[in-house]
Structure 1
Amino acid sequence: MSTNELRHLISERPRVMVVDGSKLVRKLIADVLERELPGVEVVGCASVAEATKALAEGEVHLVTTALTLRDGDGMEVAKRVRETAGQAYVPVIVVSGDAQQHLEERRFTEYVTDYFDKALGHEALAAFIRGYVQPEPVDDATVLYVEDSKVVAEATKRMLLRHNLRVVHVLKAEDAFALLTAESLGLSTHRFDLVLTDVTLKGELSGVDVVQRIRVDFAYGKRRLPILVMTGDSNRDNQAELLHAGANDLVIKPIEERLLVTKILFQLRLARMGGDRDGA
């Protein structure tokens, strides 16, 4: 489902299910949705049982769920959304203080579309949800894109250009480091806001090296320069290695435009919330 299709669907029949045992969290998410989508119906649920009942009462267009619920967990909610007869494939977003740990341990199932870590704060949560229901471009942002397949690169660049993102594409990790070095020395016309890299690259260096060198050699933290890694590797240990090395997030192939763009725009907004671009 594309971003425009999602926005049209929600605007026509806005019914969003928010599953969380905390009344405060349910209200926070509901407030964001009601502000961004006038007329939206927010269905608040405190348990798997309540979510199941809400699904039986009608189709939903977006779901957020906590991981821990009094009668189960968010994975069960996600599964029931996917298995409900007549329910379209819609975003299912985990909102939890344990999201990062689940991500690193690769414990999310294929039923989950995306995740948000509560540790990032309420303002970031509002920006994240807004990115799904009312996506807006981030002005004046440049993505350094490392991809050795010209065919894949052209397709992905078109996705990003459609959302007003500038893209500087290089084929090898070494080329990316040369550009980042030039930028750090004030010798470049580019100011990179995010790095998007494939995990498998031609040459001696891989996407893992890209992450490690940016975090260690350049000493750029996750807010200073977010890194998204695209991977088709289903091995959980290999995916965890990327996250431990300092990747902000992973994009699993085959790439779905809405999810890729949502993740990129969220990381850009989050970095700009940090204020000082030289900070961690």
Structure 2
Amino acid sequence: MSEQELRHLISDAPRVMVVDGSKLVRKMIGDVLKRELPGVEIVGCSSLAEVRTALAAGPVDLVTTALALSDGDGMEVARSVRESVGQAYVPVIVVSSDAQQHLEERRFTEFVTDYFDKSLGHEALATFILGYVRPQPVPDATVLYIEDSRVVAEATKRMLLRHELNVVHVITAEEAFALLTAESLGLATRHFDLVLTDVTLKGELSGLDVVHRVRVDFGYGKRRLPILVMTGDSNRDNQSALLQAGANDLVLKPIEERLLVTKVLFQLRLARMEKR
């Protein structure tokens, strides 16, 4: 997803479509966004038919949609956005209490950009959307990045450094565990806020082993130490295994900078919100 495709969402008055069958939910989401994004125009839709009518009236900058609607579902909303004449490629975010289940079962289509678990609350949703509309750095955050390809690592590090993130790069899971162990024993000078790992790594251990070890052996939950796994594996069972093991989210290759950075910054902000 390029900057051009996103049509410079940092404009002063983004147009956000909020799709949900509940008028109360639409109002709650809209009110939070209006508070956080002065000048935002909210296009509220309760059904697939209203979505198509609104899209015919003009393009939007971002879409949030529930999964279940009276005359369709969120997947059809996403398809309608993609197929709308004159509509640039913009983020389409599914907002649902069933988002995690859909993610683990790999039921989202290619038309969906991202997902959000409704149980996290509307304030967190606003933070998530702001990551797309007006991304802000997270001060002093450090990413432990595990990648055995130096070419890929350099490109990905540049993406993260552009957003003022500190990055510690290692090649193997074993090196990462040594650093995390030192931190847990109070022997390290740095604190890691998030782990970003490729799924395939040199050595005996993989990205799935990283997830297992962090969640089970270290006992770190998803908020204590978020884990994002980068994978080019299109096998749904393998992707589900990563999520069920405790990965916060997946970043599918080829990596798109805006999507990667949005996911990283959101997980960092969410972790800090819960620690306050």
Give 1:18 shift: 0.7
CA distance in 2, matches of 1:10, 1:202: 39
Residue 146 of structure 1 contacts residue 171 of structure 1 at CA under 8 Å; is this kept in 2? yes
Deviations 1:20-65 (A, max 9, x none): 0111221122123323333222110001010011111111111110
Which residue number in structure 1 is paired with residue 60 of structure 2?
60
CA distance in 2, matches of 1:108, 1:65: 13
1:202 aligns with 2:223: no
Residue 36 of structure 1 contacts residue 134 of structure 1 at CA under 8 Å; is this kept in 2? no
Q: Which runs of 5+ in 2 are unaligned?
A: none
Which residue number in structure 2 is paired with residue 143 of structure 1?
143
- 2:145 aligned counterpart, secondary structure: strand
Residue 32 of structure 1 contacts residue 130 of structure 1 at CA under 8 Å; is this kept in 2? no
Q: TM-score, normalised by structure 1?
A: 0.95
CA distance in 2, matches of 1:69, 1:124: 23
CA distance in 1, matches of 2:164, 2:60: 30
Which residue number in structure 1 is paired with residue 21 of structure 2?
21
Which residue number in structure 2 is paired with residue 243 of structure 1?
243
Q: Is 152-161 or 132-141 further displaced after alignment?
A: 132-141
CA distance in 2, matches of 1:140, 1:7: 29
Which residue number in structure 2 is paired with residue 213 of structure 1?
213
Give 1:268 shift: 0.5
Which residue number in structure 2 is paired with residue 254 of structure 1?
254
Q: What is the letter of the counterpart of residue 211 of structure 2?
A: V
Give 1:127 shift: 1.3
Give 1:216 shift: 0.5
Residue 145 of structure 1 contacts residue 169 of structure 1 at CA under 8 Å; is this kept in 2? yes
Which residue number in structure 2 is paired with residue 156 of structure 1?
156
Q: What is the letter of the counterpart of residue 27 of structure 1?
A: K
> Number of paired residues?
276
Q: Which runs of 5+ in 1 are unaligned?
A: none
Which residue number in structure 2 is paired with residue 125 of structure 1?
125
Which residue number in structure 1 is paired with residue 225 of structure 2?
225
Which residue number in structure 1 is paired with residue 181 of structure 2?
181
Identity across aligned pairs (percent)?
A: 81
Which residue number in structure 2 is paired with residue 33 of structure 1?
33
Residue 230 of structure 2 contacts residue 253 of structure 2 at CA under 8 Å; is this kept in 1? yes
CA distance in 2, matches of 1:132, 1:22: 24
CA distance in 1, matches of 2:39, 2:126: 18
- 1:59 aligned counterpart, secondary structure: coil
CA distance 1:86–1:255, shift in 2 (3 Å): same
Give 1:252 shift: 0.4
CA distance in 1, matches of 2:12, 2:81: 20
Q: CA RMSD in A?
A: 1.6
CA distance 1:131–1:168, shift in 2 (3 Å): same
Residue 9 of structure 2 contacts residue 132 of structure 2 at CA under 8 Å; is this kept in 1? no
1:76-115 alignment, distance < 5 Å: 76-115=76-115
CA distance in 2, matches of 1:233, 1:187: 36
CA distance in 1, matches of 2:12, 2:223: 36
CA distance 1:131–1:4, shift in 2 (3 Å): farther
Deviations 1:144-165 (A, max 9, x none): 0000000000000000000000
